[in-house]
Structure 1
Amino acid sequence: MAVASDNIRRARPLLGTFVEIEVAATSRTEMDAAISAAFDAVAMVHRLMSFHEPESDVSRLNREASIRPTRVHTWTFEVLETALEMNRRSRGAFDVTVAPVVMGLLPSVRSGPSISRKARFVDAIELLPEQAVRFRSADVSIDLGGIAKGFAVDRATDALRCFDIASGLVNAGGDLRAFGPDPRTVHIRNPRNPSRSICRIDVADEALASTARRVDLFGETETRGPAVIDPSTDRLVDSIDGVTVRAPSCMVADALTKIVMLAGTDAGELLEHYRASALLISALGDVQITSEWHHAVHLAA
């Protein structure tokens, strides 16, 4: 006879957003312990990879790595390895050194004018033995905001799986991962009208990440992050309004959303390499879905 399970859901402000964790199990004690461990993992990623925290690995690298090799936590090193691999595979479209440019964006210029160009040298980021990192130029600075949130979701999911949890969902501001026997339904908002859903997606034992071009830093409906910058021009992307990527890992899905925002349907080979698929919303509101994903996407009427 099947044993009934209970479920609980909790949320905390982390990573510049609200992180929500939902689990199902037969033991309340097990669920409490699992959620606590998952939040601890997310908080650890925040401490290590925050661009703003002065003692984070990222801040220490930006201060010291051009002067001397700087050791970082294993998790930070893993994210950097993936970020540099994706930079190479995307021919520079994914660039962890472009995000500091975005930090200078003001509301008055976010509609399209170019941003002052600065030198960026992703090839000058050296990954050395014993989790040490060196920048070959003082002009290099990094921000892992385009990939770290997905990594945090993955680490929280791993923490949940260490317990006797039947199913779970970790959602960090729209970057999410689910596991368990039953699919979850996720609603994707219209980037131009976030109060409306443009489609719903069935998610089962996989991750989703979304990036939208149109962000109102002072509005009440959509404050999820900065606009996406094309590293080759330092201009805001204006041909695609939003992208959602499905992948086995949330870290990969998170990074791929930025690449697809830039490359559009030309990112097909890269999506295939990472066993991922994508949904694109053009500036005209048209929806494109990669062919292997149609069975799990239900467009709104």
Structure 2
Amino acid sequence: MGTTWSVRFGNPQMIGLDAVRASAAHALDRVIAQMSHWRADSDLSRYNQAAAGSVHALAPEFTAVLRCAVQWAEASDGALDPTVGPLVALWGFGPDAVASAHAPDLRALHLARAAGGWRQLRFNAAAATLEQPGGLTLDFSGIAKGFAVDHVVDSLKALGLVDLLVEVGGELRGVGHRPGGTPWTVQVAAPDDSVGASPPIALTDLAIATSGDRWHQRESAGRRWSHTIDPRTGEPVAHGLASVSVLHAECMHADALATVLTVLGPTKGLPFANAHGVAALFFERTPQGLQASASRGWHERVHA
């Protein structure tokens, strides 16, 4: 996934460190083998290269991620779209990034938008199958890392651990408590130094995911753009939202929702979060400086 992972855990059962490491690594390997768009032999890549009309039996993990992606694509009217890969590549990101000194032209954007769209997915969730209509490509970048956190948690719980904090690329999920009985806690750092970090947040059987524009950007001809592409327009997001963090019981959903809210932006994202009971913290760049705002669900979770 091009990132790091870590696990912290209480271990009164004295489970061997090698067994814990191997269990976590095996879970991550399964996610990569199924969902990596960087590996040509992954299940996702094989689907992307498959012939029109072919039907693909999906692994349970792949099915769970696609079901979650479709759920939030439908709820957000396409702000999250697991078929957005060609547009991401046109803007210079991902494994198929187009190497260009300029932003893509309108014709290229039109063709990329026409080639994708989550409504073209022929997904039978009950049968765990997915048909390739022809030329459709999947990209789970906005959700797979969160699922990987959940998958590692499940594998370590099956090993016998009950108190653990799992992190993959900055997405975290806490289960149980720290040794000594205190909760696992995190703080959300502001995108710059003008605003301090959030108060400590207890991750007691809770996950957190953050999306923002701090690390992945491109620039051409005086224009700078984020790696977050709005699938509905084909353009990078252009609002002032610097980052959004989401709390959820499952990191997969937190990751997906952080993508949804980043695309929607602060004006539409906050009402969406309130309408769907999403616990979200927004940092927006304004003429007055960086401003923080939070959904009702965030206040309820953090100050409970």
Alpha-carbon distance in structure 2 between the residues aligned to 1:33 and 1:105: 42
Are the structure 2 counterparts of residues 166 and 82 from structure 1 closer, same or farther at C-alpha, using a change threshold of 3 Å?
A: closer
Alpha-carbon distance in structure 1 between the residues aligned to 2:44 and 2:78: 20
Q: What letter corresponds to residue 131 of structure 1 in structure 2?
A: A
1:220-240 CA-partner distances (Å, limit 9, x unpaired): xxxxxx721111212222321
Q: What letter corresponds to residue 198 of structure 1 in structure 2?
A: A
- CA displacement at 1:158 relative to structure 2: 0.9
Alpha-carbon distance in structure 2 between the residues aligned to 1:125 and 1:21: 35
Structure 2 counterparts to residues 215-226 of structure 1, below 5 A: 215-216=215-216
- CA displacement at 1:215 relative to structure 2: 2.3
- CA displacement at 1:35 relative to structure 2: 3.6
1:171 counterpart = 2:167: yes
Q: Which runs of 5+ in 1 are unaligned?
A: 1-14, 219-225
**TM-score where L is the length of structure 1:** 0.80
Which residue of the partner structure matches residue 4 of structure 1? none
Alpha-carbon distance in structure 2 between the residues aligned to 1:111 and 1:294: 40
Alpha-carbon distance in structure 2 between the residues aligned to 1:73 and 1:17: 24
Which residue of the partner structure matches residue 259 of structure 2? 258
Which residue of the partner structure matches residue 212 of structure 1? 212
1:24 counterpart = 2:13: no
* Greater CA drift, 200-209 or 99-108: 99-108
Are the structure 2 counterparts of residues 148 and 110 from structure 1 closer, same or farther at C-alpha, using a change threshold of 3 Å?
A: farther
1:17-40 CA-partner distances (Å, limit 9, x unpaired): 101111111143355423421221
1:189 counterpart = 2:150: no
- CA displacement at 1:269 relative to structure 2: 6.6
1:97 pairs with one of 61, 78, 83:
83
- CA displacement at 1:72 relative to structure 2: 2.6
Which residue of the partner structure matches residue 199 of structure 1? 198
1:146 counterpart = 2:151: no
Alpha-carbon distance in structure 2 between the residues aligned to 1:131 and 1:65: 19
Which residue of the partner structure matches residue 243 of structure 2? 242
Which residue of the partner structure matches residue 223 of structure 1? none
- CA displacement at 1:262 relative to structure 2: 2.2
Q: Is the 8 A contact 2:228 2:237 kept in 1?
A: yes
- CA displacement at 1:179 relative to structure 2: 0.8
1:125-151 CA-partner distances (Å, limit 9, x unpaired): 11236432113242x211011111111
Are the structure 2 counterparts of residues 68 and 29 from structure 1 closer, same or farther at C-alpha, using a change threshold of 3 Å?
A: same
Q: What letter corresponds to residue 86 of structure 2 in structure 1?
A: P
Which residue of the partner structure matches residue 283 of structure 1? 285
Are the structure 2 counterparts of residues 238 and 110 from structure 1 closer, same or farther at C-alpha, using a change threshold of 3 Å?
A: farther
Secondary structure, in 3 states, of the residue corresponding to 1:103? helix
- CA displacement at 1:71 relative to structure 2: 2.1
Alpha-carbon distance in structure 1 between the residues aligned to 2:246 and 2:68: 17
Equivalent residues, number: 275
Structure 2 counterparts to residues 8-157 of structure 1, below 5 A: 15-64=1-50, 66-106=52-92, 116-117=109-110, 118=112, 119=114, 120-128=116-124, 130-138=127-135, 140-157=136-153
Q: What letter corresponds to residue 287 of structure 1 in structure 2?
A: A
Aligned residues with identical type, % of pairs:
27
- CA displacement at 1:88 relative to structure 2: 0.8
Q: What letter corresponds to residue 168 of structure 2 in structure 1?
A: A
Are the structure 2 counterparts of residues 170 and 69 from structure 1 closer, same or farther at C-alpha, using a change threshold of 3 Å?
A: same
Alpha-carbon distance in structure 1 between the residues aligned to 2:301 and 2:53: 49
Alpha-carbon distance in structure 1 between the residues aligned to 2:275 and 2:9: 31
- CA displacement at 1:257 relative to structure 2: 0.5
Secondary structure, in 3 states, of the residue corresponding to 1:116? helix
Alpha-carbon distance in structure 1 between the residues aligned to 2:23 and 2:132: 34
Alpha-carbon distance in structure 1 between the residues aligned to 2:192 and 2:101: 18
Alpha-carbon distance in structure 1 between the residues aligned to 2:50 and 2:17: 41
Are the structure 2 counterparts of residues 213 and 171 from structure 1 closer, same or farther at C-alpha, using a change threshold of 3 Å?
A: same
Q: What letter corresponds to residue 118 of structure 2 in structure 1?
A: V
Secondary structure, in 3 states, of the residue corresponding to 1:20? strand
Alpha-carbon distance in structure 1 between the residues aligned to 2:27 and 2:51: 25
* Greater CA drift, 283-292 or 96-105: 96-105
Structure with the higher fraction of residues in strand conformation: 1
Secondary structure, in 3 states, of the residue corresponding to 1:244? strand
RMSD: 3.0
Q: What letter corresponds to residue 246 of structure 1 in structure 2?
A: L
